[in-house]
Amino acid sequence: MNADAKTFRRGRRDPLEKPLKALFPIWVVGSVLLVLLPIYLIFHVSFAPGSALFGERPRLFTTEYTLQFWKASFESGGLAGPLVKSLIVATVTTLLAILIAAPAAYVISRLRPAIRYTVVIGLLVTRMFPEFTIGISVATNFARFQPFGLNFLDSYVGLILAHLIGSLPFIAWILVGTFETIPVDLEEAAQIDGASRLGTLTRVVFPVAAGGIAVASLFVWLYSWNEFLYARLLTTNELTLPLKVFQAIDRGSEQEMATVAAILTLPIVFVVYFLQRYLRPGALSGAVKG
């Protein structure tokens, strides 16, 4: 910028200059509070004694915290079952999603651009349908057909199958982007060295893409851990953790609800910490222009 422009600008009075400067810190602090306050409240309510929350204006701070509700949730709240179910379903869903989507994503990434674009859009279009459109039919058929005496309703297998519906298009989309960045020369070099096509894939391509696969699997794990809709359609007895939160809400017990919600939220704080490196605005700009 040259000096002329600066003096010119200074010569004009900008009516927004002063209020913006004054409001800016308030706006930033306000945004941070808006994001953090709800998370604080969940933990606050789960640790606060009932007396602090009594009345029409519950207290925002208290000095007398108690572990009463955490203990009660673990001892008599029947949390063990839901916790195990949520953990197993999320983990198995993640593993299967990678196993199914990674090889396919590799093939898609090596297609001609026009076809590749069409396939990826086609996968994402399936996500535009309401989950209910898919879930209603899936739940009905799980109830109706029970192959080999397997009851998919109310079982780990059924829920894992349902969670794969939501995660496969998404993980395939992320992985196509990852594999695209791996040069084909690398594969050709491996094949000249005598590797088979499968060997090239498992020993060269997948290890190089490990970072992308790890990020994608974290997203799938989060999705399955948080998922509520399919779980509700497919569950009658064995609850998952999100269903357990809903049960507590239904019962009207604020502190039980807050405690289960806090347990559900805890692992996520760590996952987001690991993910924040990859959640850069730049990662999205490519998707818009492409």
Partner 1 sequence: MATDASVVAAATEPFKPRRRAGWIKRNRFELALMAPLVIYVLFLTVAPIVDTFRRSFSAPDSGFGTLQTFRGLFDGFSFSQPTEFQRAIVNTVIVALLSLALELGIGLSIALALHAKFRGRGFVRTVMLVPIGVPTIVSGAVMLLVFTRSGFLNSITAGVAGLISKIPGVDWDFQNFSLQVAGGWKTLFTIAVADMWKVLPVVVLIFIAGLESIPQDVYEAADVDGATKWQRFRRVTLPLLIPYFTMALILRAIDAFRIYELALVLAGGIEPVLGTYISKEYLPPVSNLYTSSAASVVLFGIIMIFIVAYLRFVARSQVQR
Which lies closer to partner 1 via its Cβ, residue 69 or residue 106?
106
Provide, rounded to whole angstroms, the least separation between the CB of residue 75 and partner 1. 21
Which lies closer to partner 1 via its Cβ, residue 72 or residue 165?
165
Provide, rounded to whole angstroms, the least separation between the CB of residue 272 and partner 1. 4
Dihedral sign for Cα 106, 107, 112, 116, please: negative
Please answer whether residues 111 and 119 qualify as being in contact, where contact means their C-beta atoms are separated by less than 8 angstroms: yes
**Token representation of residue 157:** 């297998």
Provide, rounded to whole angstroms, the least separation between the CB of residue 193 and partner 1. 15
121: nearest Cα among 107, 108, 138, 131: 108
Provide, rounded to whole angstroms, the least separation between the CB of residue 275 and partner 1. 8
DSSP result, 190-228 = HHHTT--HHHHIIIIIHHHTHHHHHHHHHHHHHHHHH--
Provide, rounded to whole angstroms, the least separation between the CB of residue 67 and partner 1. 19
- The b-or-e profile of 241-254 (16+ CB within 10 A means b, else e) is bbbbbbbbeeeeeb
Which lies closer to partner 1 via its Cβ, residue 49 or residue 103?
103
Which lies closer to partner 1 via its Cβ, residue 67 or residue 269?
269
Which lies closer to partner 1 via its Cβ, residue 118 or residue 285?
285
Q: How many CB atoms lie within 10 A of CB 139?
A: 20
Provide, rounded to whole angstroms, the least separation between the CB of residue 99 and partner 1. 8
Dihedral sign for Cα 27, 31, 32, 38, please: positive
Which lies closer to partner 1 via its Cβ, residue 68 or residue 226?
226
226: nearest Cα among 243, 213, 249: 243
**Token representation of residue 7:** 């003096």
